[in-house]
A and B are shown apart, each in its own frame.
Chain A
Amino acid sequence: DTGVSQNPRHKITKRGQNVTFRCDPISEHNRLYWYRQTLGQGPEFLTYFQNEAQLEKSRLLSDRFSAERPKGSFSTLEIQRTEQGDSAMYLCASSFGSSGNTIYFGEGSWLTVV
């Protein structure tokens, strides 16, 4: 399977702990996106990278959130000092080429903060 891969698929953590999610995009896709989705709502944009450069960040991405894509391939999204409001599905997507092109999503990483 050469689609977007996300790990772990599920994570349960205690409030205050740090968590990290990894995303492996489709090979050769130069753009990578992170979205967050809560039940009953559509995905909300968090940030995106073109190669290794983080070009846009949402105001949703508080200072407890950090995303990296060090070599322009895989990406990590870290949430520090998790809060119950961080419970959501974190979606990664990738695309190739220009802005209008199709984005391909992974299956998401579910986070539950208890």
Chain B
Amino acid sequence: DAKTTQPNSMESNEEEPVHLPCNHSTISGTDYIHWYRQLPSQGPEYVIHGLTSNVNNRMASLAIAEDRKSSTLILHRATLRDAAVYYCILRDRSTNAGKSTFGDGTTLTVKP
């Protein structure tokens, strides 16, 4: 299954926007791009997903490159509660496969 690559860590100041990048150069046409985040000692939490068009929800925005080989999760105003590990994964909608491969994600530190 297609894999993703993300920077190991990023820092942001509180109340500033954060752009978290993800590369998925081997993405197939039927892969959805999903983002999750994980707080310490908790399971991953769904953030947002998209296929081709940019997406917005109450938590974040997802910007997808035109060739779909990369995407960016945008937190418009980072808060201390946004400090977490962020994972970008691909989920193939065309097959019966259930597996999604998580990398090690990006650890976001938010400074007050």
B79 → A minimal CB distance (Å): 22
Which residues of chain A are within 8 angstroms of B31 by Cβ–Cβ distance?
A: 100
Tell whether, in the assembled complex, residue B43 and residue A105 are in contact, meaning their CB atoms are under 8 Å apart.
yes
Interface size on B, residues (CB 8 A): 29
Residue A99 contacts which of B41, B85, B93, B104 (CB distance < 8 angstroms)?
B93
CB of B94 within 8 A of CB of A102, answer: no
Q: Which of B24-48 contact A (CB under 8 A)?
A: 30-32, 34, 36, 41-46
How many residue pairs link A and B with beta carbons under 8 A? The number is 67
Known: A45-B100, A58-B99. A99 touches B42 (CB 8 A): no
Q: Say which residue of B30, B85, B93, B100 sits within 8 Å of A103 (CB atoms).
A: B100
Flag whether A2 is at the interface (Cβ < 8 A). no
Tell me whether A102 and B98 are in contact (CB under 8 A).
no
Q: Quick check: B96 and A99 within 8 Å, CB to CB?
A: yes
Most chain A CB atoms below 10 A, which of B42, B45, B105: B42
A42-B99 in contact (CB<8A)? no
Interface residues on A, range: 20 to 34
Let me know if A104 and B46 touch, CB within 8 A.
Answer: yes
CB pair B99–A45 under 8 Å, yes or no, is yes
Contact A99 to B97, CB < 8 A, known contacts A41-B104, A42-B103: yes
Q: Which of A40, A41, A58, A100 contacts B91 (CB 8 A)?
A: A100
Contact between B43 and A42 (Cβ–Cβ < 8 Å)?
no
> Can you list 16 A-B contacts (CB < 8 A)?
A31-B98, A40-B104, A48-B99, A50-B96, A56-B98, A58-B99, A91-B43, A99-B91, A99-B96, A99-B97, A100-B92, A101-B93, A103-B91, A105-B43, A105-B44, A108-B43
Question: Which residues of A approach B to under 8 Å, CB–CB?
Answer: 4, 31, 33, 35, 40-45, 48, 50, 55-56, 58, 91, 93, 98-108
Q: A99-B95, A105-B36 are in contact. List 5 more A-B contacts (CB 8 A).
A: A41-B104, A56-B97, A100-B92, A105-B43, A107-B43
